[in-house]
Structure 1
Amino acid sequence: MNYEIAKIPAYRAVGLKWEGTFSEIVPNLKNVIQQMEDRAGEVDGKVNPNVQLGLSYHVIENGFRHYAAYEVSEEQEIPDGMIEIKVPECTYVKTTHNKGEEISKTYTDLHKWLFNSDYTAYREADVDYYDPYMPIKHEHYPVDRDPNDPHFDIYIPIVKKIN
């Protein structure tokens, strides 16, 4: 696996929110992601129309909050039923999950890299997270992906470990 450190400026996204437990993912989360794909035409001000975002925050016990969204310009209005997400500037470790690979292995390898690196996962102050290793996960999906065997980039917000 290849890992790179990248600083990404703050950005604004617009999309749909799903919140639930791991046992509720199928079919609920997939339905929200599909709804966002179906409604992508309502979002005119996409910064990168070829990339749908999956922004996950592990703030629910045995689950997470997920936003299926697109990065948008400041001028983009929020379509009915969608919400705005403000993502702060962060430093990320970035890797790619490739077609034909197990997603769980990609994340296990990423966890091992993070554990052995000079970095630890970033946590927002005053937020309780239920995943001690990667509480925030941002996935960037190309719109032409195969939903049954996807490829996508993974971004985990990180900070330097304190010795």
Structure 2
Amino acid sequence: MSKFLLSLHVLAAIVAVGPVTVAASMFPPAARRVPVPVAVGGADGGGADAGDVRTVRLLHRICRVYAGLGIAVPVLGFATAASMGVLGDAWLIASVTLTAVAAGLLAAFVLPRQEELLEQLADGQPVERARTVRLAMFTGLFNLLWAAVTILMIVRPGSTTGA
């Protein structure tokens, strides 16, 4: 049962967290590339400018939807850890802590800032580079935390489970 749960946990991490890390990383430069003012309406349906905004909107939607799906990762992780009898191991507690920090960072800083930038773009306002740089910083921290969790899950320092 542990191998089955571990397989589901790893698959959920790849399928759910992977798209968030990639789309969130793509969002700031994509938002900077949107020319202002954004063309709205018109005979051509808004042209390239509207397409640029659609791209940024799609990246945000990917982040939001897959972040929701990402709830499966810690749920399956806890089930796997319980079946392996490692719930009290330091490497797992560190991983859970880093995962919680990453989720909090995504929910409190990345997604809301993406929404703010989308509103600006939809209103035809220019996006300040400083705002996209800060968003990129939070996104980078989010991705770094997930990289650290991945390393802890593979290396499992002090584990007696045979890593």
TM range (shorter): under 0.3
Q: TM-score, normalised by structure 1?
A: 0.25
Q: TM-score, normalised by structure 2?
A: 0.25
- Considering fraction of residues, name the structure with more strand: 1
Of structures 1 and 2, the larger Rg is shown by 2
